[in-house]
Chains A and B, each alone.
Chain A
Amino acid sequence: MTMTVEPVRQEVAPESTSARRLMDKMFKARELAVIAVLVVMLGATQLSNTEFLSQQGIKDLMLNATILVLVAIGQAMVVITRNVDLSVGSVLGISAFAAGLYLQDGGNALVAVLLAVGIGALFGVVNGALVSLGKVPALVVTLGTLYIIRGIDSIWVGSRQITANDLPGGFVDFGHDGISVVPYLALLTLAVLVVVAYYLRSYRSGRDMYALGSNPEAARLAGVPIRARIMTAYVVCGALAGLAGALYLARFGNVDSNTGNGYELIVVSAVVVGGVAFTGGSGTVYGAALGAVLLTSINGVLPALGVSSVWVTAINGFLLLLAIAVDRILALRVAGALRKKAAQTRSARHA
């Protein structure tokens, strides 16, 4: 206790701000990087194929992205709490069919959408209860519910199919039309995105989710109601998957027992590419949404460039690995910078 410290903080100050700047960059850079890749990709495609960003082209890009963006928003929320929901594809499929069946029998369009959302939320409750009460890894639990829900869907749907002809015209138009180039679906998705982002940023329960994902043990000690927060995340994720199911029906007008199969993997990729760390606690839903837009845009870009669309999945995988590699390299650099900083503080104390 004979050591003096006053000079230490001043000496270390510049070091700590530079380490911090690096970290700030790490947190904010992701959204900008995804936007940059997106702009370059779309710009390059436009240069080689001037038809690409026509009015219809832009509209298609947005329409293609909306459904994935919706599911990615919910998934991001779950991943932020250090969990994952693999059942979103199955939930999307079964709620799309339920909404379609209801509309086929002459139901009201709004009620159909609410029905899909409700079914999704219900499965969210099941997932949330299993994960938070059962204390079983979310990956395994939701892999189980993925198959169970898909199984129920297959038995229920059988070889039936909903086609656009079965649906009321207004509902189908809602899936295609918009205000000038902006489709209604995109507006709805944007509204959801803004609301969820604002919730996560500005409400105690939203902040709790970040805390929970960042350090579950500390969250417990700080009195964060862990089960309630995990439950909320899963219910929102399920409800958004249900909403996405209704929008899928409106956009494609075609649902069978295979709808949404394998969707969970592209959703998780989108979330990770968008900078939501799989280890929880960091990232934003805006990032996840951008990740989803990026992945779906590749679908549109390749045909416009005359490249076979069989390349799409390989490129998605490449982007995913790139995103994780970038995260890892940045994390190592930050850790290295911080270790140096600690060493300097220590030697200053010993001086």
Chain B
Amino acid sequence: MTHPEPETTPVLALEGVSKSFGAVRALRGVSLRLYAGEAHALAGENGAGKSTLIKTLAGVHRPDTGTVLLDGEPVDFHSPADARDAGIAVIYQEPTLFPDLSVAENIFIGRQPRRSLGRVDHRTVKKAAADLFARLGVALDPDQPARGLSIADQQLVEIAKALSFDARVLIMDEPTAALTGSEVARLFGVVKTLREQGSAVLFISHRLEEIFELCQRVTTLRDGAWIASEPLSDLDEDGLVRRMVGRDLEELYPKQETRIGEVALSVRRLTREGVFTDVSFDVRRGEIVGLAGLVGAGRSEVARAVFGIDRFDGGEVEVLGRKLPTGAPSLAMSAGLALVPEDRRAQGLVMDMSIERNIGLTGFAATSRAGLMNRRAERSRAVDWATRLQVKYARLADVVGTLSGGNQQKVVLAKWLATAPQVLIVDEPTRGIDVGTKAEVHRLLSTLAADGVAVLMISSDLPEILGMADRVLVMHEGRITAEIPRSEATEETVMAAATGRTDRGRKAA
């Protein structure tokens, strides 16, 4: 670190902060300094620890080791209220609104202007909210309940909330993901004004050009560890990406050459109103198709609709030439479809059940007779698959919740592979698991494809998409905006389509 930093004391800083959740080390000795009048970017891939870092600054998490410094003095935030009182405003990635309250109340909850006898002054609350919206240049009605606002409007309410603090430190976790061009421009205008007035800003975005446009300095995280803090003027986009990824793509992504066969999964003009529109694609035997896009683009929702968890309003899904009805996962399963869901803890596993029973959940048809479960058949099926996937466990009867994230993910995969699927949909298959297991999962997907399984892989991990997919589909705001062959897929082409900057390769269904 030879780059000069301002001589002043940082407004807010982290020194050597570590934080673990169970066996997962989310942050390892991370330092960060935010200076008044400076916009600081936080860069890193998904799972690098950015959100944990923000929550540490916001008083949601307390660091295991290391300190949070406010004006150079160590502080201990016990709750989000402490951080707020210290002048730290946070805009989270997921809007955190109260659906039943009005937009104005959402902004001022707990801090409403008051009149005599401590009564809330509803009129002033409303007027202050209207003033904030005017400053942001958006037409939102302060009286409107927050329920039913679009994601973009919800994000705007969050931004208005943060502005209402006159915060000394403004932290924004992907505030622009759901905003349109002119809304982003207006937000940046407001942020610049705040910065010129002496606020410190911490900004997270997957859109690299936004980082370069708004920020002066950048801190990069990788796998929870601090990589670098440096002025952005010394970097270009490629340099920043190298900092973020920083590992050898070849060994992590053991992609085998496969023979690509007939169409196994065919999706035609699939639409779920307000969620995704006119989605068409094919996945062939032996092929791994990557489905990329920003968070909230509708990728998981498409997978859920294909598998029959959510209903679709129009279009059709065919597996090996058999048309699937909407909203029938069990029929999808018997047609040879398997879905490894995004959230293994909530959707993939029953956390309080044993490894054996979890794997057994997909196999009652194969392992029971006359409606009675055959425990021995269930057990041998579980042993078989747990061994094949090299799940590390003490006993098969252990509760699944005691395993590490990577091994839990292997159990989910075992559970579905045991059904011998023809089409496998994996949603964020390696999110939050260590690099070693990640490579094993990739090798497994590659082997499956070589054996003739059609694989659709949803991932927010760009290197994973680029390293594993034969073809990349990109979604933006509920539509497929690009279909890019492996040879042409780069960070640039995929991100461009994911952020809606191009209509290149838009697919005619």
Contact = CB atoms under 8 A, between A and B. Distances in A.
Contacts of B97: 215, 218
A342 interface: yes
B277 A347 contact: yes
Interface string A1-45: 111111011000100100110010001000000000000000000
Contacts of A339: 273-275
A218 B146 CA distance: 13
A328 interface: no
B181 A281 contact: no
Contacts of A349: 180, 477
Nearest to A198: B119
Interface in B157-188: 180-184
A222 B96 contact: yes
Interface string A208-229: 1011011101111111110000
A163 to B, nearest CB: 44
Contacts of A221: 58, 60, 80, 90, 92, 96
A2 B180 CA distance: 9
Interface in B297-319: none
Contacts, number: 134
A135 interface: no
A225 to B, nearest CB: 7
Interface stretch (A60-68, A136-144, A199-207, A235-243): A199-207
A220 B98 CA distance: 11
A346 B150 CA distance: 10
B500 interface: yes
B139 interface: yes
A282 interface: yes
B478 interface: yes
A346 B297 CA distance: 12
B477 A223 contact: no
B141 to A, nearest CB: 8
A334 interface: yes
**Secondary structure at chain A's binding surface: helix, strand, loop or mixed?**
helix
A1 B98 contact: no
B303 to A, nearest CB: 19
B479 A350 contact: yes
Given A4-B181, A211-B109, A281-B98, A346 B148 contact: no
Interface in A306-351: 334-335, 337-343, 345-347, 349-350
A5 B60 CA distance: 35
Contact of B112 (A2, A9, A13, A204): A204
B120 interface: yes
B145 interface: yes
Contacts of B92: 221
B80 A207 contact: no
A40 B345 CA distance: 52
A2 B181 contact: yes
B60 A281 contact: no
B273 to A, nearest CB: 5
B249 interface: no
A207 B109 contact: yes
B353 interface: no
Contacts of B110: 204, 207-208, 211, 222-224
B99 A215 contact: yes
Contact of B80 (A208, A223, A282, A340): A223
Given A2-B501, A3-B500, A222-B80, A211 B479 contact: no
B84 interface: yes
A214 B122 CA distance: 19
Interface in B458-509: 477-479, 499-501
A225 B78 CA distance: 12
B323 interface: no
B140 to A, nearest CB: 9
B79 interface: yes
A346 B98 contact: no
Contact of A203 (B84, B105, B109, B120): B120
Interface in B415-433: none
A321 B82 CA distance: 44
B259 interface: no
A127 B120 CA distance: 28
Contact of A222 (B109, B114, B478, B499): B109
**List of 3 A-B pairs having minimum Cβ-Cβ separation, nearest first:** A223-B81, A339-B274, A218-B96
Interface of B: 58, 60, 79-82, 84-85, 90, 92, 96-101, 105, 109-112, 114, 118-120, 122, 139, 141, 144-145, 147-148, 150, 180-184, 273-275, 277, 477-479, 499-501
Given A207-B109, A346-B277, 6 more contacts: A2-B501, A202-B122, A204-B111, A208-B110, A211-B109, A282-B100
17 contacts: A5-B180, A6-B182, A8-B180, A19-B148, A23-B145, A204-B111, A204-B112, A207-B105, A207-B109, A214-B101, A219-B98, A221-B80, A223-B85, A281-B99, A334-B148, A346-B478, A349-B180
